[in-house]
Amino acid sequence: MRSPVIFTLALSLTLAACGPAPAPLDLDALRMVDLTHAFNARTIFWPTSPSTFALEVLAHGQTDGGYFYSANAFSTPEHGGTHLDAPIHFAEGRQTTDQVPLERLIGPAVVIDIAAQAAADRDYQLTPDDVLTFERAHGRIAPGTIVLLRTGWSRRWPDRLAYLGDSTPGDASRLHFPSFGADAARLLVEEREVAVLGADVASIDHGQSIDFLVHRIAAARNVPGLENLTNLDQLPSTGATVIALPMKIEGGSGGPVRVVALVRGE
């Protein structure tokens, strides 16, 4: 293993050769928030998914060589648990999972909170007025922003009935949960030119959607979606940086993603 001192010196010399060194990332000054549900046997998938997450133990224990060894195999559909929807999921010819630029997946985030509205109406959809109200309080949402919608729904995870509004296998027609509305999505994607739409529910379209307009509006502009997020209540309305890196599936329409927010010390 390379010595940390040698590695640091080598990195410093490399950066010096490339020009002025960037400001160091001071992790001690940041609070890290995991916005990801763990994958396991209770992970929620779309009701029409033919399978769910499975973990097969290949090895777990002492070897003949006298050391411990563990290895597993896993299988999962792309769209379940905390995952990314690549634009091609709802738009032919748009970016696949491996083609989504890192610049879209790492950036400043805002959190629009509609938990109160969702508590009163589980089919609530974010409106343009909600967005404008947010902007009056926090400033105009800048291009390249990752927009996260907090509904409060993640506290229901992993109760399928409470989270989705229905638990009938193979039937997605009776789902009830809040999310983005189409007009708000147009405002955010087409006018504000945001990088990503994300939410702490099973879809960036509300549960009763049958045309998936929010997905289609976002995908047309190569804007990916993040679904089944959690811990959005631990983020400020503005000021966080989000890192959302999916499994790099070549040609994929989505995939599991680990989403982390960096928040300045409060």
The domains of the chain are located at 31-264
What pLDDT, on a 0 to 100 scale, did the predictor assign at position 139? 98
Closest CA to 88 of 205, 202, 258, 250: 250
- CA–CA separation, 74 vs 30, rounded Å? 33
- Residue 37 appears among annotated catalytic residues: no
Q: What is the pLDDT of residues 151-165, one digit of tens each?
A: 999 999 999 999 999
* 84's tokens: 């990314």
Four-way CATH pick for 31-264: 3.30.43.10, 3.30.365.10, 3.50.30.50, 3.40.50.720: 3.50.30.50
Contact status, residue 28 vs residue 262, Cβ threshold 8 Å: no
H helix and E strand count, the chain:
7, 12
Contact status, residue 229 vs residue 197, Cβ threshold 8 Å: no
Q: What is the pLDDT of residues 88-100, one digit of tens each?
A: 999 999 999 999 9
Please determine, for residue 49, whether its predicted confidence score (pLDDT) is greater than 60: yes
Highest mean pLDDT among 13-27, 107-121, 252-266: 107-121
Catalytic pick among 89, 176, 206, 215: 89
What pLDDT, on a 0 to 100 scale, did the predictor assign at position 19? 55
State the alpha helices, DSSP H only, in 115-265. 115-120, 128-138, 160-164, 182-186, 213-220
For the chain, the straight-line distance linking the first and the last C-alpha, in angstroms and rounded, comes to 36
- CA–CA separation, 228 vs 218, rounded Å? 17
* 151's tokens: 């509904």
Closest CA to 110 of 133, 87, 86: 133
Question: CA angle, corner 25, sides to 20 and 26, nearest 5?
Answer: 130
